[in-house]
Amino acid sequence: MNISVFQFDIIWENPVANRAKIDDWLEKISRKSDVIFLPEMFTTGFSMNVAELAEAMDGETIRWMKQSSADHHCALSGSLIIREGDRFFNRLLFVQPSGEIQFYDKRHLFTMANEESHFQRGTERLIVDYKGWRICPLICYDLRFPVWARNRNEYDILVYSANWPQARNEVWNTLLKARAIENQSYVVGANRVGVDGSLISYMGNSQLIDPKGHILASIGDHHKGVVSAGFSYTELMQFRNTFPVLNDADHFTIQD
C-alpha cells in the first residue's frame, strides 16, 4: 500500500483556493499513491465560522473529491466542515475512485478553542476496508485519547488528520509513535504548516510510522510538500504473529 500526505499552508476560509492548490499537487505528484491524506479542515483551516463555511454532503468539495479520486485513481481523505440540518460536524471523508464515500465525525472536540460549542461530537469509529487493508481514520485532538484508538485487531493503519499547533509539536511526535507501538499498526500523521486566521502557528511534521515506532518518512519543520511511503502487509502480519501483543489486550466497552 503506497500512502502519501499533502502538507501545505491552508489558506484561511478559502475552499476554492485550497482545492486549487491540491489540484496542482495532484497533477505534479510523481509517485503513484493508493491513498492521499490531507490535513484537518483542509478547505478552511481550523475555523469556528461554521455557519458560513459548512458544506452539505452533496456540496462542492465532496463532488470535487469524488472527481479527483476518480481522475487520479487513488483514494482521497481529509476533514471539512459539514452541515446536517441545524448541526455541524468536523467530518473526515474517505473517498474512493469508485465514488464510494465513508465518513468519521470527530469525537474529541477541542474545548480550548470552543470547538464543542460549534460542532456535534461523533459517536462511532470508522474502519475502511480498502485494497485488503483496514484503515481507521481519526482527527487531531483524538490523538490524546488512546482508549478511543485502541486496536482490538480491527485495523492495520491508524490515521490522524490534523491541525496540530507548533507549540505542542513534541506531543505530536511522541504520541504518533506511541499509537503505532501500542496498537501494532502503521500510523499516518497528516498535519499542516503556516499561520492560520487565529494566528496559530503550525510546523507540520507529517509522518508515516511503522508498527515498531520507526519513522518511514516525514517532512521537516515548516516545509510544504508531499511525503510518501510504502506499507507492507506481509511485514505487518509477520510482526503481529511473532510478537502477538494484541492477544493479551484488555477487553472493554466504551460507553457514552
Instruction: Tell me how crowded residue 181 is: count the other CB atoms within 10 A of its CB.
Output: 17
What is the Cα–Cα distance from 230 to 238, expressed in whole angstroms?
A: 16
Please say if 40 is a catalytic residue: yes
Among candidate residues 74, 106, 115, 136, the one labeled active-site is: 106
Among candidate residues 21, 40, 66, 115, the one labeled active-site is: 40
Please say if 74 is a catalytic residue: no
Q: Long-range contacts made by residues 143-148, C-beta under 8 angstroms, separation at least 24?
A: 143/172, 143/175, 143/176, 143/179, 144/108, 144/171, 144/175, 145/107, 145/108, 146/178, 146/179, 146/182, 147/252, 147/254, 148/107, 148/108, 148/254
The cell for 221 is 519543520
Among candidate residues 66, 115, 140, 177, the one labeled active-site is: 140
Spell out where the chain has E strands. Answer: 2-7, 35-37, 75-84, 87-95, 101-105, 128-130, 133-139, 157-161, 186-190, 193-195, 201-203, 207-209, 215-218, 225-230
Please say if 21 is a catalytic residue: no
- The residue type of 72 is H
Residues that are catalytic:
40, 106, 140
